[in-house]
Structure 1
Amino acid sequence: MKKVLYNGKIYVERDVFEQAVLIEDGKIAAVGTDEDILAKAGDAERIDCGGRTVIPGFNDSHMHLYYVGEAMMNVDLSTCRSVEEIVEKCIEFRKQNPEWTKAGLFSQTWNQDNFDPDKRRLPNRHDLDKIATDVPVVLARVCGHTAAANTKALELMGLSKENNKIEGGDVILEEDGTPNGYLAETAATAARMVVPSPSFEQKQEILVKAMEYAVSLGLTTVQSNDMGTIIKDRMEAHELIKSMYEEGKGLLRHHCQVGCPTMDDLKSYVESPEFLEESYDGWFTVGPLKMFKDGSIGGRTATVRNEYADDPGNYGVEVIDDAKQQEMVSFAAEHGLQVVTHVIGDDAIEKTIDAYEKSFKNGTNDLRHSLIHCQVTDMPLLERIKKTGVLIAYQPIFLQTDLHVAESRFGKDLARTFLAMKTAADMDIRASYGSDSPVEDCNPFTGVYCAVTRMDQTGVPAGGFYPEECVDVPTAIDAYTTESAYMEFKEDVKGRIKPGYLADMVVLDRDIFTVDPVEIKDIRPVMTIVGGKTVYQKEA
């Protein structure tokens, strides 16, 4: 199968562009001028780009693809301005979707930071009992690190006045010791598990919906943490995702980041047939161990070295203690397994680097252990990341929310190096970009916009949040493509439009390199190509 894209502005690398690209058997055969490439085209399918810009396909270095599809099926609470509005929306959603919600209701979309200033309280079991009392209702905050549960859900979790603690989590209590329904970290995760999950066929529909959405935004690879985390049964998750490719439904490349909450889970994964599996010509791969060290900024559960400036005495919630973390990291290293860890606060980042460094062989990070999120940093911490060769997987889209609270949470000194993407680039730290979707939208153009402008989508603050940390467009695109490929050991075959690389690319509706930066968030693909196949084309 041959295909030619010509009359385009083909991004090869910084300051290097060509006019045309020849695709053959799923790979890039040649890149050059229209004249040269069309002369080699033969009977290839010919696509006139009409002068449009073509870039490598985006590779989201950390997200939750299944969760994206599930969020699209569940009630959307992202615009709610109060707990009362959340309750009203959920009641109406149950009326309109009786079959989907008959066994319970789950959503992960509300954010109290969006509530009206006089209504910024957190939901509790008494609120959610107004939605239902006979089935579990669990409404997670958008970050997924905290959640509210109704009384039925608490009962199914086994929580009560007498049993009100969960290791690695926080259970908020009423005066008499009864759980009030608000939960954090492992407690919030446990609450989600008591809401019955969809059938296997419904889960396939959910994944298809998520894939269709992702490729419509120019994503050609996702490094997704669903296996063992969002879908707790690792084998079920493996079977589900793999079935997409067995049945020809897979639209993009899927690299699994595998959740293993315990050592027993990790040993089971290492001994399993799917350990580091690569199938369907690399469209489906199973990769690193995904761990959690701390929580979120919105929930004030990210672990920090100094107490929260706006919540004295609070240092966050540690999801795994140092000894258990070290045991799992060392075990992974012994078996040649990369580790990628959720770390947001500076305390979590520091301790995770400690664990990584102790597991290095010959003092180098050959397994490319990575820090996912890595938001609260100072210069000594960034210098240590550079020295150890630890990778960062940033989510620049987090800026649109967190720029509004970073100074109040952590103070101005730490805010100056908050999501310090320009400093990291200048220091040659290997840093990729992603979204953590559905915590934020997986739209990479919004991510690039945030990295380049450091403003939210309304243009606030004018000039950017600590604008010295703004990156340029090539840096952002490379972080979303070749750097993400580096994180999954695919930098020699993915992330560039060069001969020998996989033919994963996106044709854009406007030139991302020359538009006003405020317009970057509005760019959309005209066409998305994965392995030479057109998997998305904008309707005329």
Structure 2
Amino acid sequence: MTNNLEVNSMLTATYSKQKKLVGVASRAKIIHSESCGCKLTGSRFLQLVEAFAALPKDSVLVDWRVPVRLVQPFHWTCGAEYFQKQLITAMSNNRHDHVSRALLAAAQSPLVREQRESNTKPELKARTGEIDTVIVNGRIFTGELDAPWCEAVAIGDGLIRAVGTSIAMRALAGASAEVIDVGGRTVIPGLNDAHMHHTPDPFGIRLPVDPMANPSFDELRLLISEAVAASPAGTWIYATMGERLTNDKALDRRPLDEIAPDHPIIFLGMSNHTNVVNSAAMQRLGIRDEEPDPVGGDYERLPGSRRLSGRINEYAQWSPQRCFASMATVEEGAASLRALADECVRWGITTIQNMSWTPPERYLDMAKAADVPIKVRLIRFPPSGPEGRILSDGRGIKREITDRVEFHGTKWILDGTPIEGASAVSRPYSSDSPNRGQENFSGSEISHMLRESLGAKEQLLLHAIGDRALESVLNAIETFSPQVDWQARNLRIEHGDGLTREQVGRVKAAGAMVVQNPTHFWFYGGDTGFSIFDGAFQSLLDTGITVGIGSDGPLNPFLGLLAAVQHPARPHEAMSMENAVRAYTRGSAIAEGKGDSKGRLIPGQVADLAVLSQDIFSIEPQYLPSTQSVLTMVDGSVVFRDAGI
């Protein structure tokens, strides 16, 4: 069994080791979207790695220079495939040969099928009040603390009607009911991704850059030049920056203008808190050359002038990024949502809670056109301007959009991330730098956010990573005590990675919940420069705080569960698998405001569930990323079924 240190070592391996394993550098023209781990199962990705390794060095699968209509669901976090890629490929070397064999076996299993057609829709059952489906012969995790396991469930009208033995549930089934024998497989409540940023791409070229390989700008010059030569003037060119480029102050509009004077270029930071644009992009995005800073963000300036350098941070990038996202057509957005939903049902994800850079009216049009089988909650994610936060954004849109699409809640970003050194912390990031990050908003402004949520009777979500930003949040919350019951108002702290022990107790007293992203824990372990963060996880549960889980990166939920049960940064903070699944299901349902109706497989709850390809509660953790769903149900209707079920 691979221990925590070994897994952490795998995930922080150098790019030279990665080249040795999969030859990425020697075949840089393999298009990024075709091999992105965000879109693939662990076993499927390993198959591709094996295929890539066997290619001649001059082979090209797809000409990435041809502009395409990109529908990759996770382009804003496309660097996140590195987590899965590094995990799977590192395990496939000689020291972990047993893992490689197991994953290859899983890939060759009849349970692993090609992706279903995106236009396939579930056959919805009529509401009859009777038992219409029975799942028997399963190892079913209900999520209940006092009765966590059962053998069978009976479903009717989209709800769980009864749980118990296979014999008892069969007896409840009428003559027309479907009986699904899952052959002893593990069944869990549908996974609920409580924090993601799906934003469809507009038409353009994405450079095949792996940001976690941390390339320098010199390594990208040739790619940019080829993209410019191969496409008409005005074609968007995208890339995602690793940590080195994100923090390289020499990378600004000037070198980009030299290479691409007539092509708009946008370099997206892998954490999406710092972007870089060239002059053509500034013109397309409506950024004036002496644009004033918005509240909560800043435009970096060229030395000795007020002219923008093209480097934009925090809320300075929100409006331009929304403008960029708006360039995707409704049809492109619908296609992107369908692709995302297809991936979700194969993972057993039945609900997503999304904070998109696409303006809400447009994203909701995309969602209506997509008509996906999963449940989509869109959360207000407003920008700001020089005069302040734009509170009118999305106001007046009704909550219920369709049977499975909702719009509610508001999120604000209070600090950056450790990647660009912008999380607001109480002590310097390193001994040779005074940097302690920066808070985007003052304590009084956070108090205004809290008052606004009370007035609008709307859930508030506050992104806070560093302990200094979290201190400001807690100070603001505590000024409303004891008059306001924040637990009843479902107040969410997003991330909370830098929570101190003292702050954890105050979060409990304040009545807030925390939504964390376990794959982020890999950033905080080892010699990363981010080890100042505590990365609280199990401590939250021990204190009685409700915890939800979101991806905010790799879509694969079982990669997130791997990080949850091992916690590479703080092994003593690791959760049990049972508690991690509870956080990813009922915890996320509570974060959505629906903890009373979904997230458990008990009578009266919605019948959202996933039948898994392997027993995640008993296998060794390193096998988790190759898990997938073989049957997924939403509201009692089968939305994905493997041919073997």
Cα distance in 2, alignment partners of residues 95 and 449 from structure 1: 43
Corresponding letter in the other structure for 2:391: L
Cα 1:114–1:103 change in 2 (3 A) is closer
Q: Does 1:231 align with 2:362?
A: no
Corresponding letter in the other structure for 2:159: K
Q: Does 1:448 align with 2:561?
A: yes
Counting matched residue pairs gives 502
Cα 1:88–1:41 change in 2 (3 A) is farther
TM superposition score normalised by structure 1: 0.85
Cα 1:126–1:261 change in 2 (3 A) is closer
Cα distance in 2, alignment partners of residues 369 and 532 from structure 1: 30
Corresponding letter in the other structure for 1:522: S
Cα 1:301–1:72 change in 2 (3 A) is farther
Cα 1:515–1:225 change in 2 (3 A) is same
User: Which piece of structure 1 moves more, 42-51 or 166-175?
Assistant: 166-175
Q: Is the 8 A contact 1:301 1:315 kept in 2?
A: yes
Cα distance in 2, alignment partners of residues 95 and 34 from structure 1: 64
Q: 1:338 matched to which residue of 2?
A: 459
Cα 1:166–1:260 change in 2 (3 A) is closer
Q: SS of the residue aligned with 1:481?
A: helix
> What is the deviation of 1:113?
5.8
Q: SS of the residue aligned with 1:493?
A: coil
Cα 1:164–1:290 change in 2 (3 A) is closer
Matching residue within 582, 594, 609 for 1:478: 582
Q: Does 1:489 align with 2:593?
A: yes
Corresponding letter in the other structure for 2:459: Q
> What is the deviation of 1:173?
3.6
Q: SS of the residue aligned with 1:380?
A: helix
Q: Does 1:180 align with 2:309?
A: yes
> What is the deviation of 1:446?
0.6
Q: SS of the residue aligned with 1:452?
A: helix
Matching residue within 144, 154, 159 for 1:27: 159
Cα distance in 1, alignment partners of residues 565 and 203 from structure 2: 28
> What is the deviation of 1:154?
3.5
Percent identity, aligned pairs only, is 27
Matching residue within 332, 345, 348 for 1:218: 348
> What is the deviation of 1:17?
1.5
Cα distance in 2, alignment partners of residues 73 and 4 from structure 1: 48
Q: 1:422 matched to which residue of 2?
A: 538
Q: Does 1:396 align with 2:396?
A: no
Corresponding letter in the other structure for 1:382: V
Cα distance in 2, alignment partners of residues 425 and 343 from structure 1: 19
Q: 2:193 matched to which residue of 1?
A: 60
Q: Deviations over 1:376-407 (max 9, x none)?
A: 1211111111111111010111112332466x
**Gap runs ≥5 in structure 1:** 456-464
Q: 1:461 matched to which residue of 2?
A: none
User: Which piece of structure 1 moves more, 357-366 or 288-297?
Assistant: 357-366
Q: SS of the residue aligned with 1:187?
A: coil
Q: Deviations over 1:171-219 (max 9, x none)?
A: 3344333443322112233443454611121111121112212222211
Q: Does 1:266 align with 2:406?
A: no
Q: 1:460 matched to which residue of 2?
A: none
Q: SS of the residue aligned with 2:419?
A: coil
TM superposition score normalised by structure 2: 0.72
What is the root-mean-square deviation in Å for CA atoms of aligned residues? 2.9
Q: 2:331 matched to which residue of 1?
A: 201
Matching residue within 362, 376, 379 for 2:501: 379
Q: SS of the residue aligned with 1:536?
A: strand
Cα 1:146–1:517 change in 2 (3 A) is same
Cα distance in 2, alignment partners of residues 144 and 395 from structure 1: 15
Q: Does 1:11 align with 2:141?
A: yes
Q: Is the 8 A contact 2:228 2:263 kept in 1?
A: no
> What is the deviation of 1:337?
1.2
Q: How does 1:88-487 map to 2 (within 5 A)?
A: 88-92=222-226, 98=231, 102-107=234-239, 109-112=240-243, 123-129=251-257, 132-155=260-283, 157-160=286-289, 165-177=293-305, 178-193=307-322, 195=324, 197-226=327-356, 230-232=357-359, 234-244=360-370, 249-261=371-383, 265-267=390-392, 269-270=394-395, 272-274=396-398, 277-281=399-403, 283-309=404-430, 312-359=433-480, 362-365=483-486, 366-404=488-526, 408-409=529-530, 411=532, 415=533, 418-436=534-552, 440-455=553-568, 465-487=569-591
